[in-house]
Structure 1
């Protein structure tokens, strides 16, 4: 990647994902991250949509992903929840690989941003819920990792 070039990040993942799903994710407590388990092919297609239009960086669809959220709303174990977050990275990689095979992207343009936790998924305050809350989850905030595939 040219260090002097402005990098383009993909857009609203959930909005684009809805185009590939039968049921929109808009009011789901897991938002787009539920598709990791319900429709992984739609996840790959959404990443590919952004790659097709020339973005330099794609984000994993982990906006509302959290271990606790997966355990609560998908009824899966802690270990399965960790694997599901890893699956988000794997699906992003699969989209990159598929586009590469189709010569859609240049080889050096393969940077993936993984939003591992979300402020909204982890920080629950009275303003988030519209009511008083004694259950504050303020122990993790957003963390990002960037994976450069070679």
Structure 2
């Protein structure tokens, strides 16, 4: 059973973070097998006016704040050194209009922390912390909404301060992201790779994140069919009691980055009862329209789209190629087309910013008159 409740505090009632989380927006998931898990997303989308806004690039915003991410842990390094920056970036995206914030756990793996000299218990603690930080940002945001003079889409300084449902999605990157050798952009793990290895690599990480209070799991930049199958089978094992979404990445607008069929990968996600949305991330905006058409043929589940800025990433040099991307105004010009094609969750990935998300939020006609 899933209960979605929206209830601001009563007049004169003392406000605190726990009350805000409990009363303003509460999603209680009491998993009874797979009963009603899929209604989490449909209920959420209804309360979001039909289209929900996902946040934008996390790592590149952390770098803008001065974080040094030249490390195999990438943005997860900040879980060890700069949790305040992660919290601030989450808050920036909420104030830009994001309805879903994604945790700083994309490249956070127990094995990755062990390679840095930390114990498995320390690694699990860092995974939990990624969810806690997102919760803290959500609580701070709700407090600011209460302090605002009016419940409006935009304050005088351009911030979106509006009481609305907000989800925390726990990010899970691919095995290639852990390797930090560019294979997350190729999906090539070698001929010796097998399904059981991938399931064993991800199992405890996914379980810890699912038990940490996240609303759902976000499997991101899934690069090949084998890893999609591994994630789907993990969800069906019964150790994961919250829903998930699958986001694949593509470098040709036809297939996933490994060359595996996008339609076949989407069908794997569609076959899993705990998957509540299927789509694309970390892919140039120019490829998205064709990919939506492909995914629609494989699933009737909500489609999510959060492309990168279109800039080219040099995986060997680990840097972005300058002046190779799509400006915000052009990026946002695609949004209405994607919505018309059936996408119902839209945001950004690498190199998109709070300004990008703010522009997406303002471009959605449902936001001008919806009451969340």
TM-score, with structure 1 as normaliser: 0.78
Cα distance in 2 between the residues matched to 1:52 and 1:108: 12
Cα distance in 2 between the residues matched to 1:136 and 1:78: 23
Superposed CA deviations along residues 72-106 of structure 1, whole A, max 9, x for unmatched, are 12x11001110110000000000000111111644
Cα distance in 2 between the residues matched to 1:2 and 1:61: 24
| Contact 2:67–2:78 (Cα < 8 Å) also in 1 | no
Work out whether 1:42 is the aligned partner of 2:42. no
Deviates more, 1:136-145 or 1:63-72: 136-145
Show the counterpart of 1:139: 198
Cα distance in 1 between the residues matched to 2:182 and 2:101: 30
* Pair member with larger Rg: 2
Cα distance in 2 between the residues matched to 1:17 and 1:77: 25
Superposed CA deviations along residues 32-53 of structure 1, whole A, max 9, x for unmatched, are 0110110000010010110010
**Distance change (3 Å), C-alpha of 1:136 and 1:38:** farther
2:121 to 69, 79, 91: 79
Work out whether 1:100 is the aligned partner of 2:168. no
Show the counterpart of 2:358: none
Cα distance in 2 between the residues matched to 1:93 and 1:40: 13
Show the counterpart of 1:59: 102
After superposition, the CA RMSD in angstroms is 3.2
Cα distance in 2 between the residues matched to 1:18 and 1:127: 20
Consecutive unaligned residues of structure 1, counting only runs of 5 or more, are none
**Distance change (3 Å), C-alpha of 1:38 and 1:127:** closer
| Runs of at least 4 residues off by over 3 Å | 104-108, 132-138, 140-146
Cα distance in 2 between the residues matched to 1:127 and 1:51: 30
Show the counterpart of 2:246: none
Query: 1:13-24 counterparts in 2 under 5 A?
Result: 13-23=58-68
| Contact 1:37–1:84 (Cα < 8 Å) also in 2 | yes
TM-score, with structure 2 as normaliser: 0.34
Deviates more, 1:14-23 or 1:56-65: 14-23
Query: Secondary structure at the residue paired with 2:52?
Result: coil
Query: Secondary structure at the residue paired with 2:215?
Result: strand
Query: Secondary structure at the residue paired with 1:61?
Result: coil
Cα distance in 1 between the residues matched to 2:137 and 2:81: 17
Consecutive unaligned residues of structure 2, counting only runs of 5 or more, are 1-43, 146-159, 217-372
CA deviation after TM superposition for structure 1 residue 64, in Å? 0.6
**Distance change (3 Å), C-alpha of 1:91 and 1:127:** closer
| Contact 2:103–2:169 (Cα < 8 Å) also in 1 | yes
Equivalent pairs counted in the alignment come to 142
Higher RCO (CA-CA < 8 Å; seq separation 6+): 1
Cα distance in 1 between the residues matched to 2:113 and 2:192: 18
1:12 to 51, 57, 60: 57
Cα distance in 1 between the residues matched to 2:141 and 2:102: 16
